Each structure stands twice: as C-alpha cells, then as structure tokens.
Structure 1
Amino acid sequence: MPRALWTVWVLAAAISLSKEGAPDQAHSLSCDPTGVCDGRARSLNAIPPGLTAAVKSLDLSDNKITYVGNNDLQRCVGLKALRLGSNGVHTIEEDSFFPLRSLEHLDLSYNRLSNLSPSWFRTLSALKFLNLLGNPYKTLGETSLFSHLPNLRILKVGNSNPFSEIQEKDFSGLTFLEELEIDASNLQRYEPKSLRSIQNITHLILHMRQPVSLLEILGDLLSSVGHLELRDTDLNTFSISEIAVYETNTWINKLTFRNVKITDESFSELVKLLNYISGMLEVEFDGCTLNGLGKFRTPVLGTVKYLGNVETLTVRKLTIPNFFLFYDLSSIYSLTGKVKRITIENSKVFLVPCLLSQHLKSLEYLDPSENLMSEEYLENSACEHAWPFLQTLILRQNHLKSLEKTGEVLLTLKNLTHLDISKNNFDSMPENCQWPEKMKYLNLSGTRIHSLTYCIPLTLEILDISNNNLNSFSLILPQLKELYISRNKLKTLPDASSLPTLLVMRISRNTISTFSKEQLASFQKLKTLEAGGNSFICSCDFLSFTQGQRALAQVLIDWPENYLCDSPSHVRGRRVRTPGSRWLNATGQPWCPPRAAPFSCCSCSPGFCATISTACGT
C-alpha cells in the first residue's frame, strides 16, 4: 500500500474510533411521542445536537452545560418549555433564543450568568414563566429586560449575594404578574417607585436579610400587590415610627412572614403596621422565631384598637427560645375582637387562656393542630363564654385521650358544628358521651379505636372514622349523609337500614370480599361509593353482577382501576372486569380462566360466557 494511502487510512480509522468512543449526547435524551424530552442529570456539557421542531419541552437541568450558542436551538421552533437550571452556563449568545417564538417557560436559574441581556427575550412574546434566580449578577442590567414580555405571569429574579440594587427601570413593561419572586437578600439600594410600575402583582415573594428600604417598598406596593410574602428577614430592630402612608384604599389583603425573626418590640411595630393597611384580611407567620417574652410595648398597642381589619391569623412552627419565661399575652387580648379564623399549628401550644378565649368574640374557626393540648387544659380554654360563635374546632394530633371528657369540656361551645379530633390516641370508646347539640361533623380518623358505640352523636351528617381498627359498623345514624371508613378491617358493607340518608360512602382498603346488586340497591340515596383496594373474590356471581350493572361506574368513583381480584389465586392481581371487556394476561393478550376455575362458563351468565368465548377464540 502506498505510504500516502496508508497515512490517510490510519487517520480515517483514528477518527472513526474517536467517534465511536465518544458518547452520543443526542441519545442522552429520552423523548416521548408528544415531544417531551428529558435530559436531566446526564452529565451533558453542551446542548445535544439534532434537535428539531418536534421537540415541545426540553429539560436539560442539572448538567454541566456552560455555553448556549446561536445555532444550538435554531430548529426548535415548536419549543414551549426550556429548562437549563443548575448548569454552569456563563455565556448565552445574543440570538440563542431568537427562533423560540412559541416558548412559554424558560428556566435559567442557578447558573453563572453575571450579565443579563434584553436581546435574549426580544422575540419571546409568548413567554409566561421566567426564572433567573441564583445567577451572580449585581443588577438587572442597564436597560429593561422584560419590555418585550407582555404575557409574562411568573418572574423570579435576584440572588443571595451580589444582587444589591433594584432600579426604577428594572420592571418596566410588566403590567400584571401572578407571581413575582425577588431574592434581594443583600439589598443595599432601592430606587423609589421601582415596583410601582407593575400595576398588579397577585403574589410577591421578597427575600431580605435586613429590612433595608422595606417601608419604601411597602409604600410602592400597597395599591398593586394582593399577597406580600417576606422571607428570611431579621426584623429584630424593625420600626415604623417614620412611616408615611398616603394610600387610603390598599389592595394588599394578605401578609406572610416566612422564616422571619421578631422581638417583642418589633411585634408591636408590626401590629401598628396592620392599621395602616386598610385592606389587610389575613396574616401568616410560618417558621418564625420570636426572641422575646411576650412583654409587648403597651403604650404602642394602646394606640391600636384592633389588628386592623385582619380576620384570619395563621401561625405555623413558631419557635420561642425562652418559652417557659413567656408572659400571658394579656396585653394583646383586646386586639383580637375582629379575628374570625385562627390557626396555630405545630407550635407547642398547650393552653389558650380562658380570658383570651373570652376576648375572641368573633372567632368562627380555630385550629391548634399538632400541639400539646390535653383535656385538662382544653377545659380551661373552653371556659364559660369562651369562643361564643365558634363553629369549627380542629384538635388534630394533640394529647387527647378520653372521648368522654373531650365531649364534656366542649359543651360550653353552643354553636360548634365541626369537630376534628383525629390522630389523638383514644383507643377505646365509652358507651355514651355528651356533645354540643349542634354537632354535624366529627373526625375520629387515626385514633386507634377498635369498636363503635353510641358515644357517636346521633346529630351527625358527616363521620370520618377511617384508618382505625374497626371490624364492623352497626350504628344507627338517621341523619348521616357522608361516611368515611376506609383503611379498617370491615368484611362487609354496613347495613343500609341504619343509614337511611347516606349519600357518600368511602370504604376502600378494608377486607371486603364481595358485594351484590341487592346490597347497593338497599342504599336508596347513595350517589358516591369508593370501595376499591379490598380483597375481592372474583366469583361468577360477583363478576356477573359487575357486568350487569352498566350504571356502576356512575356510583363507584374509583371503578375500575382500584378493583382487583384477590382470589382465586390464578387471577390474583387482575382487574375486576368491566362490561364487554376481556381478561388480559401480563403481556396484554386475551386470556381465559381455566375450565376448572370456580367461575367456568357452566355457572356464569350468558353475557359473561360470550365474553369468555370471544377471548378464548371458541
């Protein structure tokens, strides 16, 4: 072989081997027939080649992509969603997204973009979602990034460190956002009216370490934001003594503090703030820390009659480091008269003082779930004249142990209709109990009870006793409309004559083996039945019944997917058949039970035999 030809052959072979040894990144994508392509966490270092207009959704998050070029997405004209979050992208060429005129979702979060360019977005008029969080830019650029995005509804910008300035032009062109999240943890400067340009923001999430310019920002938002959420902020020194609010009609109706630190002094300032916001109806504290003793500033609170117009107060996972030195909160009792709904969840509450309960004159809903309430302390909380208009009480997952005592201490609540005492450990149920006379709803799920007595009030319309150890249900409840009794050990449906008004029954995941046409017909008013997940014996009678009831699917809300045969053994795990359907084997082929099966054609209805014959080809 001539030397030159040999050299060419060697080079060609080397190139071929190199190509074979390199991973084909295009094959790192898994795409379904609708054009949804998943390339997450595949160690890709570039956007895979060969992408076409057939790709509708492309997820390349959690890879090692550093560069997006003008030609990488050139043929993806049908793309609606592009996810490039958590890569190492530091450069995006100006026209990289130019062909993506149908793009609605773009995630560029947690990359290394130190500069943002408005040219990336100039053709993305259909874009609804844009996430730029976690990139190391200091500002949102010299010109408005979002002026070409009239349909944008969700926007996430900022980072925890370099981003330090919000400018007036930053949000120019945006008129309505369903959600705006700004990580301004290191905010140093806020240019006045920067957020006022957005006329309507349904939900604004603002991350701030310190409340720098918080009052200025709040002043710009009062007439444009529905729900303001403040996250990760130290409000220990917060004060509103210098606030000047000129808005008389504010749009903001909900204020959330998430992972925020508060002191006695700053809490008093927040109470004062609520009186400036006329439209405020709901306040929420989630995962917050109160570094105080409950010794609030009485002179400040003395100038405030109520908590503004707040009707709903929610507290979750509140931490009070000096909990056992805490005061009795008497200084704020007088502020609670307008509050209608209170949730204090998972905050180690063991007592609501009687005097506070008596001041809650408008309270209709109280939820101290996942706390330390016991019957002894509940008796003090539900004292005479306490919660006079309370209708719903949620005591889920507390330390209640006696149904009899619980019912007795709640007799003072003359208007109570809904009681949830689920996930307490009652174990046993006494023969008789006393309950408020208007009780309509009782939740005893997950309380370890193993039998029912007439401790259950006869006035109930809804009873939830799911997830217990019950093996029978024999109570007569003439007004009951809904019964939830799933995840027990019942072997049959309850007697319909005991439940003459029943409309809804959920009895899934028990040990029921069968039910008949006559049993269902006996529930004359039943409109909804959920009975899947039981241990059905697929006898001829049961299968013939399920075929003959064409209206069965209208009553059984989980039919047919949750109805599986438990026996005989050779059909265990197979779906109970629907009218006109066939038995299918594991590969989806028609299958016929053996003639020796208990439900062979000789004992089955003609319709069932016909289906069996068709499936078997006989």
Structure 2
Amino acid sequence: CLCYRLSQDNAGSIIQCLAASVVEFQGGELEKYVDFPVRDLDPSTIDMLGTLEIKKIIFGDLLVPEVLLARVLRFFSYTRVQEMAFESCSFLGRSSWREMAGQNLPILSLHFHNVTSAPLTGREQDFSELGSWLGTLQELSVTSSHVTSLPCGIGRVFRALRSLDMAQNSLGDGSLMPAFCEGAFPQLQVLSLQENNLTSYHGVCRSVQLLHELQHLDLSQNKLVASPSSSCQWPASLRIFNLSNTGLDELLTPLPPGLEVLDLSSNHL
C-alpha cells in the first residue's frame, strides 16, 4: 500500500493502508509536525496497534526531523512491524533518545539507502540509549550514504547483528580497524564492504580478524593492493569471499582454510 505526500489532508489514505502487510510512505516534509503533541497511548489504541498486519514500513523521499522520529519510534513497540526502510531521506538535526532507553521494538531488519544525517562520530551515547532494541537487531544496511566511519562504541551495541551491508559508501582503510574493534558485532556472519574506498588487501584482513563468526565477506569493486610481506590470516570461519573487480593480478595466500566460494572474476589474473 503506497501513500504519497504525508499530510493531514491525506489521512484517509493512510488509514486505508493499515490493513496492508507492507506500507510505503513517499514524499513530504515532516518539520511542521515537530511540535505536534505526542501523548501516551490509551489501552484501546495499544490493542488496535497489536492487531495490525503491517510487517514492513518504507519511508521514501522524506525530510525527517530526528526529534520527531525519537518521539514516535517507541510506538512501534506495540506493533508487529519487523522491517523498516528509509530511502532517499534526510534526517534533520539531532535529538535525545532518552525516551527510548530500555524500550524494545519488534523490528529486526533496518535499512537506509541514500540518506543524509548528522555524522556518526560522537553519537555513542545516542546508540547506547537505543541499546535494548539495537541489541536485538539482526540485519542492518546503510548503503550509498557517504558514510566515512563507524565508531567502535556503536558496533558494540549491535550484539545480535548477523548481517551488515555498508556498500557504496566512503569507508577507507583507516576507518575499518576502529569499526570492528574488540566487542563490536560479535555475532556478525555477513559483511558487505562493496564499492568503498578500500585499497589495502591485508589492511582489511587485519581489521576483520576479531569477527570470529564471519562467514561471508564482500570486498568487490574496491581497488585493492596487497603487501607481499604480510601474512595476515583471515577469520577461519569465512566460507564465501567475493574479491571480484578489485584489480588483483595474483591469487593471494593464505586463504581461509574452510573457504567454499571464492569469486575472483573481473580481475587481472
């Protein structure tokens, strides 16, 4: 069910969408609703939200004040929404997430594509206050969003994350070691770093050594250069390794001992 241009005028179409399993909101500016009073829900409203069949919500082409998002996100705890996506959205300003402290949400999969927001650096406290929810999240993608770094403290919040997609961003060699520090993403199995600004083959290897559950790593479309003097060991758990279109001109060793799939297509071998 698709709703265009969020506003009070099209509230009827929003109500019609409440019966759908996937709801998509496209277009609109939510700044005018920043001062809208958000009150606690009464029991009958909570019961109604629990009966909705909505499993996935997509927000597209929206200007989203972070202060408004922080105030309404906790209401999703009363629903059965499992997946949320933001596509071509701009998050405005910064907000306190204190109201979300200790709040659990049913959302297990969270996606951001082509979004802009305040830098992640220095926001560890914000993510900590969302820890009860983010600590149960299983799938996260932040793609085509000009991300340059992922602070260590943020990764430690995602205790149950299985899949992380950071494709088509601006991550460089120096940003990976802090991102995958001791205690960050302890359950991570699938990691995509496709089409970033990575250049050091062995530098990436050293950066992911603490990801002991990693099974699938995608480094495709990065221009990688290897150091012949390095003998870095990739995580022994790695089973699928995508090195396609990375400019490599030789097969580098040592490879993970349990590797099952190695993609070296579109290289100079």
Normalising by structure 2, we get a TM-score of 0.87
Sequence identity percentage: 23
Of 199, 206, 215, 2:3 maps to: 206
Of 67, 83, 90, 1:282 maps to: 83
**Conservation of the 8 A alpha-carbon contact between 2:109 and 2:137:** yes
**Conservation of the 8 A alpha-carbon contact between 2:202 and 2:226:** no
Which residue matches 1:555? none
The 3-state SS of whatever aligns with 1:359 is coil
Q: Tell me the distance in 1 between the aligned counterparts of 2:234 and 2:120.
A: 36
**Conservation of the 8 A alpha-carbon contact between 2:120 and 2:149:** no
Alignment of 1:394 with 2:192, yes or no, is yes
Q: Post-superposition shift, 1:375? A: 2.6
Which residue matches 1:353? 151
Which residue matches 1:295? 95
Distance 1:240 1:280, change over 3 A: farther
The 3-state SS of whatever aligns with 2:149 is coil
Q: Tell me the distance in 2 between the aligned counterparts of 1:364 and 1:441.
A: 15
The 3-state SS of whatever aligns with 2:217 is strand
Q: How does 1:503-582 map to 2 (within 5 A)?
A: none
Q: Post-superposition shift, 1:218? A: 5.1
Q: Post-superposition shift, 1:297? A: 4.5
Distance 1:240 1:353, change over 3 A: farther
1:391-429: CA deviation from partner (whole Å, max 9, x where unpaired): 000000111111112111211111001000111111446
Q: Tell me the distance in 2 between the aligned counterparts of 1:289 and 1:454.
A: 43
**Conservation of the 8 A alpha-carbon contact between 1:417 and 1:439:** yes
One-letter code aligned to 1:296: S
**Conservation of the 8 A alpha-carbon contact between 2:140 and 2:163:** yes
Which residue matches 1:502? none
The 3-state SS of whatever aligns with 1:404 is helix
Give unpaired runs (5+ residues) of structure 1: 1-203, 471-618
Which residue matches 2:233? 434
Which residue matches 1:339? 137
Alignment of 1:230 with 2:25, yes or no, is yes
One-letter code aligned to 1:285: F
**Conservation of the 8 A alpha-carbon contact between 2:110 and 2:140:** yes
Alignment of 1:263 with 2:60, yes or no, is no
Which residue matches 2:106? 309
**Conservation of the 8 A alpha-carbon contact between 1:262 and 1:288:** yes
One-letter code aligned to 2:127: I
Which residue matches 1:118? none
Which residue matches 2:255? 456
**Conservation of the 8 A alpha-carbon contact between 2:3 and 2:13:** no
1:153-186: CA deviation from partner (whole Å, max 9, x where unpaired): xxxxxxxxxxxxxxxxxxxxxxxxxxxxxxxxxx
Give unpaired runs (5+ residues) of structure 2: none
Report 1 or 2 for greater relative contact order, CA contacts < 8 Å, sequence distance ≥ 6: 2
Q: Tell me the distance in 2 between the aligned counterparts of 1:329 and 1:271.
A: 19
Distance 1:433 1:325, change over 3 A: closer
Q: Tell me the distance in 2 between the aligned counterparts of 1:270 and 1:255.
A: 14
Greater helix percent: which structure?
2
The 3-state SS of whatever aligns with 1:280 is coil
**Conservation of the 8 A alpha-carbon contact between 2:170 and 2:197:** yes
Distance 1:241 1:270, change over 3 A: closer
Q: Tell me the distance in 2 between the aligned counterparts of 1:280 and 1:423.
A: 34
**How many residue pairs get matched?**
258
Asked which structure has the greater CA Rg, the reply is: 1
The 3-state SS of whatever aligns with 2:73 is helix
Q: Post-superposition shift, 1:443? A: 0.4
Distance 1:264 1:327, change over 3 A: farther
Which residue matches 1:446? 245
Q: Tell me the distance in 2 between the aligned counterparts of 1:315 and 1:413.
A: 23
Q: Post-superposition shift, 1:433? A: 2.9
Alignment of 1:241 with 2:38, yes or no, is yes
Normalising by structure 1, we get a TM-score of 0.40
Q: Post-superposition shift, 1:356? A: 1.5
RMSD value over aligned CA atoms?
A: 2.3
